[in-house]
């Protein structure tokens, strides 16, 4: 998916939120915005939105001196999600179709982003999202692909959400390689938070090899790209990965909550809807 003109005001909004999270120094926050003004000039509308986000976050980190502004929040999100692990496991096992329920929880886990932005509790968010239906739900194809797959590549998105990914991975019962970001960016899961979530007990963890908040294959490392090519099935979590991978030619299943109007329009759903969408 290409960068849209609409992404630029949104990027300024995100830069502001992130800078305000790590500093109260108005001059520094203004400097973050001023420097972002420089960065957007270099942005091509041919690049994917996560490439912009990477530059924006690096800028915030540089000016505020905080390499990982979301570190504490990621830790807290994971702890919160881990506390819910037993009850979610029980809900999944009690349900008529445990795989479906696990997939729904994994998608719902993607709401954690909203928590970061809006500050309400994870349980409230989950209860809110549980009432929603999927806007796109290619579950039949998902189940069929999964039944035939040996090696599944599962591309993670946010910290905290990973705990729900773990539950889906446990339910899938396949050999799974779980992909984290190569370095801190926004609240995306890195090796550190994946280990905290216990992903290592259910999957092999690799990284994209870059801190772009989405798996843009062109900039990912060889380990990721080899796994991406050879896996029987790819599951991609979250909007950043959708934006990065939606034009790829291989079969991919996207599992996400849609967080902006542009992506909503492209997928043909409303903002806030759950999506399980298979391509190719």
Helix (H, G, I), strand (E, B) or coil at 167: helix
Identify the CA nearest to 177 among candidates 193, 161, 194, 192.
194
SS3 275: strand
Which H/E stretch holds residue 224? helix 222-230
Q: How far is the CB of 53 from a copy of itself (least distance, A)?
A: 14
Neighbours of 66 (CB within 10 A): 17
Q: Which part of the chain contacts a copy of itself (CB under 8 A), choosing from 4-12, 59-67, 132-140, 233-241?
A: 4-12
Q: How far is Cα 148 from Cα 244, in angstroms, rounded to an integer?
A: 26
Residue 36 or 205: which CB sits closer to a copy of itself? 36
Q: Which is nearer to a copy of itself, 13 or 218 (CB)?
A: 13
Rank residues 44 and 150 by Cβ distance to a copy of itself and give the closer one.
44
d(CA 149, CA 152): 7
**What residues between 19 and 48 interact with a copy of itself by CB under 8 A?**
20, 26, 29-30, 33-34, 36-38, 40-41, 45
Part of the chain binding a copy of itself (CB under 8 A), chosen from 7-15, 106-114, 194-202, 257-265: 7-15
**Per-residue x/- track, 176-195, a copy of itself (CB under 8 A):** --------------------
CA angle 132, 94, 150 (to 5 degrees): 85
Residues binding a copy of itself (CB under 8 A): 5-6, 8-10, 12-13, 15-16, 20, 26, 29-30, 33-34, 36-38, 40-41, 45
């Amino acid at each position: 998916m290409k960068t849209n003109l609409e992404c630029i005001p949104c990027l300024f909004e995100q830069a502001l939120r992130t800078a305000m999270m790590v500093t109260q120094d108005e001059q520094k926050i203004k400097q973050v915005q001023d420097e972002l003004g420089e960065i957007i000039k270099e942005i091509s509308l041919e690049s994917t939105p996560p490439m912009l986000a990477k530059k924006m976050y690096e800028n915030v980190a540089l000016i505020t001196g905080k390499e990982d502004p979301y570190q504490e929040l990621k830790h807290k999100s994971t702890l919160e999600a881990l506390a819910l692990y037993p009850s979610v496991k029980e809900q999944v096992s009690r349900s008529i179709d445990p795989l479906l329920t696990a997939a729904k929880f994994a998608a719902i886990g993607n709401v954690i982003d909203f928590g970061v932005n809006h500050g309400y509790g994870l349980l409230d968010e989950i209860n809110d999202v549980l009432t929603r239906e999927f806007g796109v739900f290619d579950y039949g194809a998902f189940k069929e692909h999964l039944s035939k797959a040996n090696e599944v590549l599962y591309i993670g998105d946010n910290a905290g959400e990973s705990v729900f990914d773990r539950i889906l991975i446990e339910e899938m019962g396949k050999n799974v390689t779980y992909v984290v970001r190569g370095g801190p960016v926004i609240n995306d899961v890195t090796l550190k938070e994946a280990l905290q979530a216990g992903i290592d007990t259910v999957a092999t963890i690799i990284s994209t090899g870059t801190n772009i908040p989405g798996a843009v294959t062109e900039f990912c490392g060889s380990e990721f790209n080899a796994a991406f090519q050879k896996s029987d099935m790819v599951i991609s979590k979250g909007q950043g990965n959708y934006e990065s991978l939606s034009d790829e030619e291989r079969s991919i299943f996207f599992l996400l909550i849609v967080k902006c109007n542009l992506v909503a329009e492209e997928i043909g759903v409303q903002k806030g809807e759950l999506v399980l969408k298979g391509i190719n």
